[in-house]
Structure 1
Amino acid sequence: MRTEEEQVEALKNWWKENGKSLVIAIAIALSGVFGWKTWQQKQHNDAEAASVAYQNLIDAVEIGVSQSSADELSTSQHLADQLKTEHESTEYARFAALLMAKVAVQQEKYDVALAELDWILNHNPTEEMRQIAYMRKARIYQATDEFEKGLEALGNVTAGEFQSSANELKGDLLRSAGRMTEARAAYQKALSESSQVRPLLTIKLEDLAVSNEG
């Protein structure tokens, strides 16, 4: 057994050899703890600020739409762009883009709407948001008579809860393109995938059958 002096000397030697590395390791560990807390606080603050900005955007859009105010709608676009720039990593930024895409469609500014939806798709959306963005792109392409592009967009809709709606929209696109047999098959598939009563979808399918008979 070593004497106390020998133990002290051994500790000195160990510290001489390993002390610097230990200090660095402790510093890294502490910076990690404080860094994590700082990051968490930043995320919290960012989310709160984004939430307020998004509510301001909603208010501006509601005023702009209800009063047909070009100034308010211009303000809405500015607020949305600011939110997307300053709070890009938050879900509120993607909600802002989705809202402005809807406003653009109402104004028949389809290129603007598509750009907003593409922004969502290029900024790490949740799977649900991704599916919604592609569905809305398909509807825009239907409005612009770009049926093949619409069908291509729908090819990216794969989540089960969206399948019935996606196939109904696929039927609409195919019908608009004059591909009636394929449209009927899409409507039938949409009905089979739905767990709810879909009277409008049923009417579409019946109308298609009647038009074919005629």
Structure 2
Amino acid sequence: MTALTDDEQLDNFKSLTKKYGSAAVSGVLIALIAFFGWNYWQNKQLHRAQNETARVQQMMEQAQSMTGDAKAYNQLAPLADTVIKKDQNSAQAVQAEFVMAKVAADQGNYVAAERELKKVQNIKLDDEGLLQLVNLRLAYVQTAQKKYDDALKTLALVTVPAFKASADEARGDIFVAKNDIANAKKAYQSAWDATIARKQERQILQIKLESVGVLVDDPNIERPILKTQVDES
């Protein structure tokens, strides 16, 4: 395979984004980890604080039913405030802020989404994994605002091994946005290695690697993906 120039690699990534949509492949989207975050939290908190858990569940259901409604953020805010005032250092408070941040981001209001996540970025909670999710999601929101350096600093706070692949992939997305292909390759490769080690889903990550000119060997995925997919567009 002929080596691609940096411009050709960027064109590949842009073609990929056009085909799959920025919602599927760009680092600006917090929805990539939204459901993972919710499932993680549910498993940890299933038998704790049932009333507040029920309120957050209600928020989730309302948020889903109000998808596309410009009034969703303002209407859900009082319910979130009730949960947070009950115990601002609880996992339920963090999840309430997650919901508010996602609703704001879905409306394109990344400033509000960042504000919500920063409220719980440094709370006192004995749940390291949940706090790692706060920083991952915050980094995506900052990237959406082109605050790339802030996003990279936020990702530096993600240190738990279980989140390494997600953090490195987000770094790769940021470097692509900054037109820094060399560092994007390194970040995506690091994410790939961590993903392989943990046997996680990796097809989108493989596409991202190929978009910056790196072919990776995965017997479970046909290669190269990018050339086939982009040529169809």
Higher helix share: 1
Alpha-carbon distance change, 57 to 207 in structure 1, aligned in 2, over 3 angstroms: closer
Alpha-carbon distance change, 75 to 209 in structure 1, aligned in 2, over 3 angstroms: same
* 1:69 positional shift: 6.0
* 1:81 positional shift: 1.2
Give yes or no for the alignment of 1:202 onto 2:203.
Answer: no
Q: Whole-Å Cα distance in 2 between the matches of residues 161 and 94 of structure 1?
A: 19
Question: Where does the alignment leave 5 or more consecutive residues of structure 2 unmatched?
Answer: 1-47, 215-233
Alpha-carbon distance change, 148 to 62 in structure 1, aligned in 2, over 3 angstroms: same
Q: Whole-Å Cα distance in 1 between the matches of residues 99 and 123 of structure 2?
A: 16
Structure 1 consecutive aligned stretches of length 4 or more whose deviation exceeds 3 Å? none
1:135 aligned residue: 136
* 1:113 positional shift: 0.9
Alpha-carbon distance change, 205 to 62 in structure 1, aligned in 2, over 3 angstroms: closer
TM-score normalized with structure 1 length? 0.70
* 1:192 positional shift: 0.9
CA distances 1:56-103 after superposition (whole Å, capped 9, x unpaired)? 32233233226x262x54221111012101232432111111111111
Structure 1 vs Structure 2 CA RMSD: 2.0
Q: Whole-Å Cα distance in 2 between the matches of residues 130 and 105 of structure 1?
A: 19
1:54 aligned residue: 56
1:186 aligned residue: 187
Alpha-carbon distance change, 48 to 207 in structure 1, aligned in 2, over 3 angstroms: closer
CA distances 1:144-182 after superposition (whole Å, capped 9, x unpaired)? 111111111110010101101111110110111111111
CA distances 1:11-46 after superposition (whole Å, capped 9, x unpaired)? xxxxxxxxxxxxxxxxxxxxxxxxxxxxxxxxxxx9
Alpha-carbon distance change, 199 to 58 in structure 1, aligned in 2, over 3 angstroms: closer
Please tell me whether the aligned partners of residues 131 and 156 of structure 1 are also in contact (alpha carbons under 8 angstroms).
Answer: yes
| Higher RCO (CA < 8 A, seq sep 6+) | 2
Instruction: Name the count of aligned residue pairs.
Output: 163
Please tell me whether the aligned partners of residues 187 and 205 of structure 1 are also in contact (alpha carbons under 8 angstroms).
Answer: yes
Note the 1:58-207 alignment, pairs <5 A. Answer: 58-65=60-67, 68=69, 70=71, 72-125=72-125, 126-194=127-195, 195-196=198-199, 197-207=201-211
Question: Where does the alignment leave 5 or more consecutive residues of structure 1 unmatched?
Answer: 1-45
TM-score normalized with structure 2 length? 0.64
* 1:141 positional shift: 1.7
